[in-house]
A and B are shown apart, each in its own frame.
Chain A
Amino acid sequence: MTRLPSFVRFVSLALALLAGVVAAQSTTALRVASTASVTTWDPSLSFSTEAVYLANIYEPLLWANPAGAEEPFRPALATSWEAAADGLSWTFHLREGVKFHDGATLNADAVVRSIERHMAIGGAAFIWAPVAAVVAVDDMTVRIDLEYPAPVDLIAASLYGAWIVSPAALDAAAADEAYFEAGIGAGTGPYRLVEYTPDAEVVLGAFDDYWGGWDEPGHFQNVVVRIVSDQVLQEQMLLAGEVDMALSLPPTSYAAFAADPNYDVHTVVTPFNYVGFLNTTRPPLDDIRVRQAISYAVPYDDIIAVGAEGLGTQSRGPVPQGIYPWSEEVPRYTQDLAKARQLLAEAGHEGGGFTLRLTYAAENIIERAFAPVMADALADIGIKVEIEPLLFNQQWALAKADPKEAQDIFLLLYWPTYSDAGSDNLWSMFHSSETPFFNLSYWKNPLFDDLVDEAIELTGTDRATAQALYVDAMTILVDEAPALFFMDAGGWYAVPTYLEGFAYNINYPFATFFYPIRLAD
């Protein structure tokens, strides 16, 4: 009989004797898979998917509650707040006894300095545009003075540009602008940033002095987030028990998880929507009738079915449902090929007979799925669509270059920076500007601009009137059709039944709050 080398025998014995590594269900660590990479750890500069982590490390003055909640906001680092009668100042009363991760105590100075930094360099600095000054009234009271009325409660609850940061960290960052990038967290949130491996892993550890406390049993002491870009791989990891949660699962797996008794499937309304900008600088899309014809040709239900596996609703303009100032009064198109053909004929393009170049982000599987559906529908009215997948970076560069040379149709996934899609979605995507930001239709309409500008100013003091103005603006927008408004994307999460406390908040896209998630009894 052949004798195995002794090393091989040793290893075999060792492997046979060893038990499994980590108990799947203990409060030691919540293991998560996420696609969210980190563009920056700087709480002021943050403007991308790192919000998943920052929302657990930092806190704002207040949180916005999901639509339908009893109160629109709940206290965070501020326990109460009020606006002056004229809407030109807001006062926030801070929570006592809050510690930063570095041991410093929360006070008005920390709030003032944080907001001033966000205003100066923030990726989302524009949300603070109405602010004239931030003042420490006393050690635990902050007043925000405005140049014009604005909804500071919405602004201060933003996912971007509203985190309150330790003063010591702000000092360090002032001396070294790359201070945070090594993986430094300096907030008051329930979790500290323990370790960061770029594009691989983020490890969060419980902050023992968190003001919210850890008395409730079942809280996780640590959160280990694996950055995994592939949804199918995330699914495999979840099914194999390698992770407890996967934050991005393939849409095609929804039915399987919904039928699996080991998982609770949470179907949610998200603030993400899909828009198709039409290049209004070039014929034939410079003709409103052609744009309306295309709007009538789009098969909205099919796009939702194919692109989002039915999880979504047709948009009413660019403001997503559940986010101010969405309104069901805003009109929307339904597919009507006869009407589309009629409009084309009126525009001098009977039977279509032209080609449009459509670009979408190659990384986006939903756009990849529904772009051909749209192309087929336009083919029915004689418009040929050449679909061109590009990396988002490249698609963006193309659109930002000369509009005359850019694409005809730009598919975009959008979401508001904070829970005011009037000053964000409507302004960013369609307000006139010399250098377009997100206005990739390159559309200009002074009446729309005026309505939006006026509504922005009224949102802080007379939200009802502002809402009405927004509806008027969106009605013009839909009628002139500088863009196609496909769908408000739904989402879903499959949470193992041994976990409880998961809740999605539409106001915080990308963010998953780990603190409330606990092992079920």
Chain B
Amino acid sequence: MARGAQPISRWPGIVAAVLIVAAVLAAFVAIFWRAEAGTGLRAAEWQAIRFTLWQAFFSALISVVLAVPVARALARRRLPGHTLLITLLGAPFILPVIVAVMGLLTIFGRNGWLNAVLGALGLPEVSIYGAHGVVLAHVFFNMPLATRLILQGWQAVPAERFRLVGQLGLPPRVVFRTVEWPILRQVVPGAFALIFVLCLTSFAVALTLGGGPRATTIELAIYQAFRFDFDLNRAAVLSLLQLCVAGSAALVALWVLPPLAVQGGQDRPLQRWDGKGALIRSADMLWIGAGAMFLLSPLLSVLLSGLIGLGQLPLSVWAAAWTSLWIAVLSTFMLLILALPLTAWLALSKRGGGEGITMLGLAASPLMIGTGWFILIYPFADPQALALPITAIVNALMALPFAVRILLPPLRQAVTDHGRLSAALGLRGLAMWRIVLVPRIRRPLGFAAGLTAALSVGDLGVIALFADPDVATLPLQMYRLMGSYRTDAAAGAALVLLALALAVFWLCDAWGRRDVAG
């Protein structure tokens, strides 16, 4: 395809990519510039690196492996409350870590529901604390993301293909090989890479559920270097190491992604004709049931403990919720400005290596970005006055890899299907986006925006470093309640947070789904 025939420009995407790289690099340069000669890496840190890699690998692997049958079941079955179920199943991914840990421990902890059931059956107690606990928690967080990504891949299969499969009456094994496997090969490596990188930067969850210093991650060492030892040199070296590990993982994953198979279709609504057997049906229901129980029972415990605290919430928590809502709107806006041109650029490229750039913001420790920018901004302006815009930018950077991963396959498809015709008709630039592309990527766009908005509501992010005493976000206010013995009120705030995150996600996601219904 000739370059000149493209109806959308690569340049805005390249500018966005340069801005992202510059934002992360600037933080590094600032820290190395301010660092004095510090200590190098110690034995404890090498151990941390090994553990980090180990847990991230298994967390990503198990998340993806479990997500495949659940996503497949959700794609094949239509249950009452289907869309609500799918939204709720996504909730663990947007929970603030401390809330999720408390929820998980209510189910799997020493005095948790699971042990109560085991005890009633006369079975021995199980302990969640240990390496398996770390993986369990990370699967809880990330399986929802993997499920949604795979589900999206399934929904992108042209409807004609399933109709054909249904008409030919192909056995499930053949359907898997001819229709499903090519989709999984497209989606799974990217999902794995994202979750791997996400788990690399885990710290409080790994420590608490890992049962102690055995479960030390690189991010903990970075935190210690920044906030406790104030050894900027070691902090920067560790951050760089984390970035390299994440970067290599991302590149490997993107390299194994096969080049896109062209899948022409006529934009018909999807209907499944396969998987009608009783055995397959009950297996599907079993997967959905097990997945829902695993993902929803901790949420139920957050709901129950939060209801008690709801009455004790001070007015300031509602004010903080309003602030968080604004941050979510701002972050989502920033995200769209970065993600759409960037994805367009990647969609026009044959190989997806450039997608690695989007991982930068996720793999770089937020503490490092915050500190680096603080050093850069301080000579010119009061960083506290910029707390909200900076939080929005960092949130957008963090959400960017998810958004691009969600948007890239459908956008590539839309460009492949309609690019040449549009170019021939003279449709270009914004008109091309408005008339051809956005309607075709509306569903993933709503999903990506919702994810960003929800993550922004729940994330403490860099606000702790730049906090203005008068402008508190909801997670910050919740941590303050916890820090002043008000555990019940904090649980109430956590419930408000969960509800708000789900609400913004639902709004964006519903906007995306409207076209499918109509």
* A and B form one complex: no
